[in-house]
Chains A and B, each alone.
Chain A
Amino acid sequence: GAGVSQSPSNKVTEKGKDVELRCDPISGHTALYWYRQSLGQGLEFLIYFQGNSAPDKSGLPSDRFSAERTGGSVSTLTIQRTQQEDSAVYLCASSARTGGALMLSPLHFGNGTRLTVT
């Protein structure tokens, strides 16, 4: 079946512009995550949505970053007034978490959006 889909796959933007990154999770997956992978760094947690619960935003690096998930499905990550340090691959993942912990419901990752801020 279809996996996690992210768009665009590549985005080049000028410093100071806003960008929106989109994630379509696997159908029926209630948990959705955004991670960021910078060159030479590990994956950095950004935000987590689980069903109708309030999202865990503890990983967002600044108030320029925000995310929403409409109807419990598609999610958009918005970066306002982009800076060069925002350049990274932004990864979305979903899981069929049904109340148990991640050990029971592995994450399925999309291929990511490569963001370059010039």
Chain B
Amino acid sequence: AQSVTQLDSHVSVSEGTPVLLRCNYSSSYSPSLFWYVQHPNKGLQLLLKYTSAATLVKGINGFEAEFKKSETSFHLTKPSAHMSDAAEYFCVVSSEYGNKLVFGAGTILRVKS
């Protein structure tokens, strides 16, 4: 079975400083991994996805994530936080046959001015 652990339930950064949201996964096969974002009172939106191509994945709004198999990690980063980045972020792994997504518990990102 697959599982996802988001290591921080809350992260607070100042505007203009780097963002790091940590995610570790467990899977018995080569997984597909995703990051989704949910802004307040909005639906979930796909930020980026890893599907066994390049290990460094670039997404929307300047976010990127690096797949590290040796560390079973898929951390989300952004060089410079913007106020509009304040939201909840979910790290997600797909099931072996790709028909289900398993979501982490989420990390709430707060951006201070």
Against A, the Cβ 8 Å flags (1 = close, 0 = not) of B65-101 are: 0000000000000000000000000100010011111
Query: Interface of A with B (CB < 8 Å)?
Result: 3-4, 31, 33, 35, 40-45, 48, 50, 56, 59, 91, 93, 100-104, 106-107, 109-112
B92 to chain A, nearest CB (A): 8
- Using a Cβ cutoff of 8 Å, how many contacts connect chains A and B? 62
Residues of chain A within 8 A (CB-CB) of B4 are: 42
Asked if B104 and A109 make an inter-chain contact with CB atoms under 8 angstroms apart, the answer reads: no
Does B102 sit at the interface, judged by CB under 8 A?
yes
Asked if B100 and A111 make an inter-chain contact with CB atoms under 8 angstroms apart, the answer reads: no
Residues of chain A within 8 A (CB-CB) of B97 are: 101
Contact check: which of B43, B98, B99 meets A109 at CB < 8 Å?
B43
Against A, the Cβ 8 Å flags (1 = close, 0 = not) of B30-41 are: 001010100001
Residues of chain A within 8 A (CB-CB) of B100 are: 45, 48, 56, 59
Q: Which 10 A-B pairs have the closest CB atoms?
A: A101-B98, A43-B103, A109-B44, A103-B51, A103-B32, A42-B105, A42-B103, A109-B43, A111-B43, A102-B98
Asked if A43 and B90 make an inter-chain contact with CB atoms under 8 angstroms apart, the answer reads: yes
Residues of chain A within 8 A (CB-CB) of B49 are: 103, 106
Residues of chain B within 8 A (CB-CB) of A44 are: 103
Residues of chain A within 8 A (CB-CB) of B34 are: 106
Report how far A43 CA is from B91 CA in the complex, Å: 10
